[in-house]
Amino acid sequence: MKLYEKIYNELKQRIESGDFKGGKLLPTEKSLQKEFGVSRITVKQAYAKLQEEGLITRVAGKGTMLAEKFEAHKSKLIGVVMCDFDSTFGERLIKSIEKNAEKHGYSIVIKRSFDNHEKEICVLNELTALGVDGIIIQNCHGAFTKNLIELFLKDFPLISVDRYAKGLSIPSVTSDNFSASISATEYLINKGHEKILLASVPSQSTSTLTERLDGFKQAHINSEIILSTENFVLNLKSPVTKNENDIKADIALLKSHIMKKKLQP
């Protein structure tokens, strides 16, 4: 990377972080020469690149300032859509997003979809109506909502978190669920447990769930242990609905499944 590009990147970051709002002038060429230890021509090249992008205006006798259209951009908002979150999952993630957004002069708007497609449609519409600059989303299980696909096709800045949008090339930040599932299952197998139960909500082609299921199967293949339907309960509801009746029903289902296997010779 050339010297002027490094200075350009640094100044652009300061601009985007809001360091020069409110009519504050940008540093003079002389002060930047001293700060970065470079020649005046290098500083001029950096400022020229910022000017080409329409980020700054240079006025003779006055100095360098933000371009009017950049000053007019007041959103500086990032939408964060989670299915849900609590102290066991999501809280640290949101705090980290907020901390890093603030470093760059952004605020976050948090919405929950409750893993409901209709609700996800509503919150995405609300966020785009607010004029957010981008959206970090933990999309609902199953099929993609229409407006999520539309945002993707419009090249709207999207990041998928905790899962990836299989079929849509949206950048994602997630765990290696396949390898993690293998490790967890092999840990139990190595402890001498051969009758291991995988309990989950229906995968519905959701990336994280299908990867965990595949990892569970692969661990048994690696250990040459045969799987059967007895190893799976894949129709839980309460992890998604959080409904009290569903919680009771899921507990009863798991108890019944475990007791049935104990009674068998």
CATH number of the domain encompassing residue 7: 1.10.10.10
Q: What percent of the chain has pLDDT over 70?
A: 92
Q: Are residues 54 and 135 in the same domain?
A: no
Q: Is the dihedral of CA 137, 211, 171, 121 positive or negative?
A: negative
Q: Is there a contact between 158 and 100 (Cβ–Cβ < 8 Å)?
A: no
Last residue within a domain, chosen from 126, 144, 173 = 173
Q: Is there a contact between 137 and 159 (Cβ–Cβ < 8 Å)?
A: yes
Number of domains present in the structure of the chain: 3
Q: Are residues 7 and 85 in the same domain?
A: no
Last residue within a domain, chosen from 142, 173, 204 = 173
Q: Are residues 194 and 123 in the same domain?
A: no
What pLDDT was estimated at residue 129? 87
For residues 98-125, give the mean pLDDT. 93
Q: Are residues 16 and 56 in the same domain?
A: yes
> What does the alpha-carbon distance between residue 103 and residue 96 come to, in Å, rounded to a whole number?
11
Range of the domain at 221: 177-263
Q: Are residues 158 and 83 in the same domain?
A: yes
What pLDDT was estimated at residue 202? 86
From the list 43, 139, 11, 124, the residue with the least C-alpha distance to 82 is 139
Given a cut of 90, whether residue 45 has pLDDT beyond it is yes
Last residue within a domain, chosen from 41, 71, 101 = 71
What pLDDT was estimated at residue 167? 75
Given a cut of 50, whether residue 72 has pLDDT beyond it is no
